[in-house]
Amino acid sequence: MLTVDLGDRSYPIYIQAGALSDSDLYRKHLSGSQAIVVTTERVAPLYLEQLKNALDPATQVSTVVLPDGEEHKSLAVLEQIYDVALKAGHNRTTTILALGGGVVGDMAGFAAASYQRGVPFIQIPTTLLAQVDSSVGGKTGVNHPLGKNMIGAFYQPQAVLIDTKVLASLPPREYAAGLAEVIKYGLICDQEFYDWLQARSESLAARDSVVLEEAIERSCDCKARVVAADEKEAGLRAILNLGHTFAHAIESAQGYGVWLHGEAVAAGMVLALRLSISKGYLDATALAPLLEWLRAVNLPVEPPQDIAVERWLELMRRDKKAVNGKLRLVLLRRIGEAFLTDEVSEEELRAFLGEHATAGIAE
């Protein structure tokens, strides 16, 4: 068990096979006699009954089944959670249980932050990406047509329950997308972890349970330490967004859900390393091993080539890390040492994007 150390709002991260159906974990963290399970059309047939059977029979349980996909991460769909909660008479002691991937976790968490001005919630992530990233740290919210995750709140869960058994049901594409975030933690947090991951890349690709559990634990530990030091992203926490400024632009330009988040992050990380190298921060030898690794797990190493440079810049200017109209990017000095900088001018970025992120289409 890990702990996200936030004083009186600290919470545990349980990483174990069978956590989803462990009744003791729910008894520890459900404070009232009501619960709302928020899940999706794809996850519900697999795990909803298993979760409900683990709850105390005396608990009043309501269920919200949302459509799958990033394209449904919106205010309009979010209202479905409020509708169910209000119609069933859920009060301030209810606990919202987020059963699913990152989209469900973000939406259920935002609903918890805002329903009756805040009710408890528990993250039960069912994708690798959500297990190592979005379920930890308290970022909640929805997308807007003009930007990803622009409407939301920092709101910490009561606990995170990570059941490694559920990863067996993930389609290969979604599993690979989760590996992108695992690789990110090696790049930003720890050279030794990065080397450890590379040495076990075949085992990770094969979903070896022992290796996978350790990779999840070490990824979560990295994120927990960063969040404890900078909960609301005043500075340090931004390093968790390596490649994400590029990735969010890809997702917005292509339409939410066309590229999976982890796929966009993979291509975005490559761009971040290329830019780090071109600025003289990072040794050029760092790039080739990452490209080989990403290709081996079927992740993209190039962004879509149909985004015009000015469109890239328009979308990147909306990034939440931008301050006073000045874009800030997460780059690398070496493997394991990421930093936030505003020392890339728009002219430099325009030239860089023209060389590395577009097929030279007309502006």
What pLDDT digit, counting tens, does each position of 141-190 carry?
A: 999 988 888 899 999 999 999 999 999 999 999 999 999 999 999 999 98
Whether 81 maps to a domain, the answer reads yes
Whether 262 maps to a domain, the answer reads yes
For residue 363, pLDDT beyond 50: no
CA distance 300 to 295: 7
> In total, how many domains does the chain have?
2
Q: Tell me if residue 241 is catalytic.
A: yes
Cβ–Cβ under 8 Å, residues 327 and 316: yes
- Identify the CATH number of the domain in which residue 145 sits: 3.40.50.1970
CA distance 265 to 270: 9
For residue 214, pLDDT beyond 60: yes
Q: Tell me if residue 91 is catalytic.
A: no
Tell me: do 51 and 181 sit in the same domain. no
Q: Which of 90, 148, 237, 328 is catalytic?
A: 237
For residue 271, pLDDT beyond 50: yes
Task: Please compute the mean of the pLDDT values over residues 119-128 and round it to a whole number.
Answer: 97
Run of H or E residues at 114: helix 102-114
Whether 263 maps to a domain, the answer reads yes
Whether 361 maps to a domain, the answer reads no
Q: Mind listing the pLDDT tens digit for each residue in 74-111?
A: 999 999 999 999 999 999 999 999 999 999 999 999 99
Q: What angle do CA 296, 297, 303 make, to 5 degrees?
A: 95
Tell me: do 147 and 186 sit in the same domain. no
Tell me: do 211 and 253 sit in the same domain. yes
Cβ–Cβ under 8 Å, residues 40 and 65: yes
Domain boundary among 169, 192, 214: 169
Tell me: do 95 and 188 sit in the same domain. no
For residue 361, pLDDT beyond 50: no
Whether 362 maps to a domain, the answer reads no
CA distance 157 to 25: 14
Which amino acid type is present at position 125?
A: P
What sign results for the dihedral spanned by CA atoms 203, 204, 210, 215?
positive
Tell me: do 153 and 177 sit in the same domain. no
Q: Tell me if residue 223 is catalytic.
A: yes
Tell me: do 161 and 191 sit in the same domain. no
CA distance 317 to 314: 5
Q: Which of 87, 117, 232, 363 is catalytic?
A: 117
DSSP 39-51: EETTTHHHHHHHH
Tell me: do 34 and 126 sit in the same domain. yes
DSSP 22-76: -HHHHHHH--SSEEEEEEETTTHHHHHHHHHHHS-TTSEEEEEEEPPSGGG-SHH
Tell me: do 80 and 180 sit in the same domain. no
CA distance 265 to 252: 13
Percent of the chain with pLDDT over 70: 98
Q: Tell me if residue 244 is catalytic.
A: yes
Q: Tell me if residue 337 is catalytic.
A: no
CA distance 263 to 299: 6
Look at 325 and 195; give whichever has higher pLDDT.
195
CA distance 177 to 266: 8
- Using alpha carbons, select from 40, 2, 44, 48 the residue that is nearest to residue 21: 48
How high is the mean pLDDT of the chain?
A: 94
Band the pLDDT of 326: cuts 50, 70, 90. confident
Q: Name every residue whose Cβ is closer than 8 Å to that of residue 104 and which is 6 or more positions away in sequence.
A: 38, 39, 40, 43, 66, 98, 130
Band the pLDDT of 359: cuts 50, 70, 90. low
Tell me: do 154 and 258 sit in the same domain. no
Q: Tell me if residue 350 is catalytic.
A: no
Tell me: do 52 and 197 sit in the same domain. no
pLDDT confidence of residue 318: 85
CA distance 238 to 124: 24
Q: Which of 70, 181, 231, 263 is catalytic?
A: 181
Band the pLDDT of 235: cuts 50, 70, 90. confident
Band the pLDDT of 347: cuts 50, 70, 90. very high
- Using alpha carbons, select from 231, 192, 229, 230 the residue that is nearest to residue 214: 192
How many residues can be counted in the chain?
A: 363
Q: Tell me if residue 181 is catalytic.
A: yes
pLDDT confidence of residue 362: 38
For residue 54, pLDDT beyond 90: yes
Q: Which domain holds residue 93?
A: 2-169
Whether 50 maps to a domain, the answer reads yes
Tell me: do 17 and 103 sit in the same domain. yes
CA distance 112 to 56: 21
Q: Tell me if residue 139 is catalytic.
A: yes
Whether 117 maps to a domain, the answer reads yes
Q: What is the pTM of this model?
A: 0.91
